Every structure is written in structure tokens, then in C-alpha cells.
Amino acid sequence: MNLYNDSDGVRKAAILLMSMEEEHAVHVLSLLPRSYVEKVSIAIAQLDMVSTGEQEVVINEFLQTRPSAIAPSSGGIDKAKNLVKKALGKDAADMLSVLQQTLESLPFGFLRKADAQNILTFLIEEHPQTIAMVLSYLPPPLAAGVLGGLPAARQLAVIERIAEMEQTSPEAVEEVERALNTRMALFMTQAFQKVGGISAVAEILNVSDRATERNIFDGLAKGKAELVDEIRRLMFVFEDISKLGDKDIQTILKNVETSQWALALKGASQAMQEKVLGNLSQRAADMLKEEMGFLGKVKLSEVEAMQQRIVDVVRSLEDSGQIARPSGDQTEEFVS
């Protein structure tokens, strides 16, 4: 991981620190030069919620296995400030000032502290392209709240534009901010910034309500079915299976062979392994663990390919109504 000049490396370092116990993250942060503390703390502040799948990709660059389960991790300005204060102690003041100023200079940063309803009121009469640009810069949960308040037809128009958005020039962003009568000056480099895209759509829909998600997919399926597949592939990852109820897990087990589970679980978290094994009989669980042991070392690419095949099975079962997965990180409630 190149923390020095690689922005992707800085993001990975931020995710790794967010995945650690706070005391360990503080210790690591305290060992870094101040210039790198600044980069990583800003990255943490900009990250809102990191999925288990993205965490695993980062962690696997350092470790082959991880003894504890991985849970979704949250970042944000408060977490970044807390880590900086504990890592730098009395020397943290200047760094915290830089951190605050940097975040305030982000595109549409003035909206990050507003609630979704206020932003919706602010944007409701704007062109879908303008709304798409703004939502692309907002944290996914906040963007999802705004999207959910739009009329159905506008939702589709906005989400299509986010999906097709690749690059936006600083000048275009500044023009939109001026048109929206912003109160903050925007400082941006002349470099183009990558925003939007399919991953942005997936992140927004992951935390949207079911009605919004269904409306978007039904609309896209009429003319852009391949886009639906690409978005859904990013919305649900293998580790998300552990969020399903036992009944749904058992349905999936009936549709996936033991040999497939053995390969897929080689790269899974402890929580995921326990979830699958816990829904098998003792004999079947012992057989699966034995088969996993027989596999020995396997290529990560093969594990990921098998995990994706199982995810495809899950989606197929969901589409046919045999299972129902909760949206986002929510768990389903049951009544008797």
C-alpha cells in the first residue's frame, strides 16, 4: 500500500484504521509522519460507511486470515477528530484545523450537515442533472434520503444520470453551486474529479427503502437491463449472506453444493462461516469443515469466483420470492 503518493493507498489505509480497535488505530496513527496523518484522517472523515466486502479486500492485502469477524465500519468527521486527538495529544490542534478546513472546501460540503428533507426542499425544482451531480458528492445515506423524497419519475431520471456520470469539471461544479446560492466558496484543482458511476448508484440504493429500489430497477429494466445487473452485482456481496435469517440461509444451502460452500468459505469471515455451519446438521457441518481442510491453499481468484456464483444463486432465489433479504444493514422484524 503506497500511502505516500497514491490516493487509493490513502483510502485503503483509512479503511484499515477504521477496521481496527480504536486503541490500535491510535497507536498506528501516532507512528506516521504528520503529513500522512493529515491525509489519512481526511480520508477517514470523508468515508461514511465501509462494507465488509471492501474491508476484506483491504485486509487481505496484509493478512491471509483474520481471527475476528468483520463488521461494517463507520468513519466520519467525529471519528477522524477523535483518532487525531488521541494520536497527537496536545499537538492535535493544527491538524484538526486543517481537517475541518479541508472538509469544508469539498464540493457541496455545505450540505453535509443538513438533513435530507432540507436538501430535498432545496433541490426539488432543479433539473435531474443538477440533482444527480449534488447527490454524487453527498454521503450515500444522505443521498438516499433525498432520492427517496423525489417523485418516482424524477428518481429514475436522477439515478440514470448518476450511473452515466463519469467525470465532472470543477467549473461545472462551481457553476451549479453558484446557481444554488451557496454560502461557501469552493476551492478545487483544475483536475477532473471522478464522481457518480455505477458504484455510486449501488451505494445509494443499498441504503434506500425497498419501494425506491424496486421503482428504480423496474424502470431501468425496460431499457437498460444490463445496467440493473451491474448495479445489483455491487449492491450485494457474499458476506452480506450472513445478514439473512436462518430460514433463508437454509433455503440457500439447499441450492448450493457442499463443494461450492467449501471453496467459497475459505475466504470468508469467521462470522460468515459460523452462520453457514450453524444452519447445518452436526454431521453435515463436520463434512463441510473436513472438505475445507482438504482443499488446502486455494487461489483468491477462485474463491471470489465461487462466492460470486453463490451470490447469483441468492439473487435468483430472491427474484423468485423464495428468500427476502433486508435492505442495507437493517435486520428484518418478525411478528407472531
Fill in the amino acid letter for 299: K
Note whether 173 and 148 are same-domain residues: yes
Contact 40, 13 (CB under 8 A): yes
How far apart, in whole angstroms, are the C-alpha atoms of residue 80 and residue 96?
9
Residues of the chain falling short of pLDDT 50: 1-5, 64-73, 181-192, 328-336
Note whether 214 and 270 are same-domain residues: no
How far apart, in whole angstroms, are the C-alpha atoms of residue 84 and residue 22?
11
In the prediction, which pLDDT does 1 show?
46
Contact 50, 72 (CB under 8 A): yes
Q: Does the residue 314 lie in any domain? A: yes
Contact 69, 39 (CB under 8 A): no
Note whether 264 and 168 are same-domain residues: no
Note whether 165 and 216 are same-domain residues: yes
Q: Does the residue 290 lie in any domain? A: yes
Structural domain ending residue among the three candidates 62, 81, 104: 104
Fill in the amino acid letter for 132: A
Structural domain ending residue among the three candidates 74, 104, 134: 104
Note whether 33 and 122 are same-domain residues: no
How far apart, in whole angstroms, are the C-alpha atoms of residue 178 and residue 185?
9
Q: Does the residue 219 lie in any domain? A: yes
- Alpha-carbon torsion (315, 319, 321, 326), positive or negative: positive
Structural domain ending residue among the three candidates 59, 78, 104: 104
User: 25-39: per-residue pLDDT in tens?
Assistant: 777 777 777 777 777
**Which residue is listed with cell 503529513?**
35
How far apart, in whole angstroms, are the C-alpha atoms of residue 73 and residue 202?
18
Which residues, 6+ apart, have CB-to-CB distance to 116 below 8 Å? 142, 144, 145, 146, 148, 149
In the prediction, which pLDDT does 264 show?
92
How far apart, in whole angstroms, are the C-alpha atoms of residue 11 and residue 194?
15
Q: How many helices (H) and strands (E) does the chain have?
A: 19, 4
Q: Give the whole-number percent of the chain exceeding pLDDT 70.
A: 71
User: How far from the centroid of its chain's Cα atoms is residue 212's Cα?
Assistant: 18
- Alpha-carbon torsion (125, 127, 133, 136), positive or negative: positive
Note whether 158 and 142 are same-domain residues: yes
Contact 203, 140 (CB under 8 A): yes
Helices 140-149 + 210-223 axis angle, to 10: 80
Note whether 150 and 207 are same-domain residues: yes
Q: Does the residue 154 lie in any domain? A: yes
Question: Cell triple for residue 28?
Answer: 498506528
How far apart, in whole angstroms, are the C-alpha atoms of residue 107 and residue 111?
9
Q: Does the residue 325 lie in any domain? A: no
Contact 204, 191 (CB under 8 A): no
Q: What is the CATH number of the domain that holds 206?
A: 1.10.220.30
In the prediction, which pLDDT does 75 show?
52
Structural domain harbouring 78: 7-104
In the prediction, which pLDDT does 167 show?
74
Q: Does the residue 1 lie in any domain? A: no
- DSSP line for 144-200: HHHHHHS-HHHHHHHHHHHHH--EE-HHHHHHHHHHTT-SS-----SS-EE--SHHH
User: 174-214: per-residue pLDDT in tens?
Assistant: 777 777 644 333 333 333 455 678 888 887 887 777 678 88
Q: Does the residue 324 lie in any domain? A: no
Domain count, the chain: 3
Which residues, 6+ apart, have CB-to-CB distance to 178 below 8 Å? none
How far apart, in whole angstroms, are the C-alpha atoms of residue 74 and residue 18?
7
Question: Cell triple for residue 247?
Answer: 430460514
Q: Does the residue 252 lie in any domain? A: yes
User: 129-166: per-residue pLDDT in tens?
Assistant: 989 988 888 878 888 999 999 999 999 999 999 998 87
In the prediction, which pLDDT does 229 show?
81
CB atoms within 10 A of CB 259: 12
Note whether 262 and 224 are same-domain residues: no
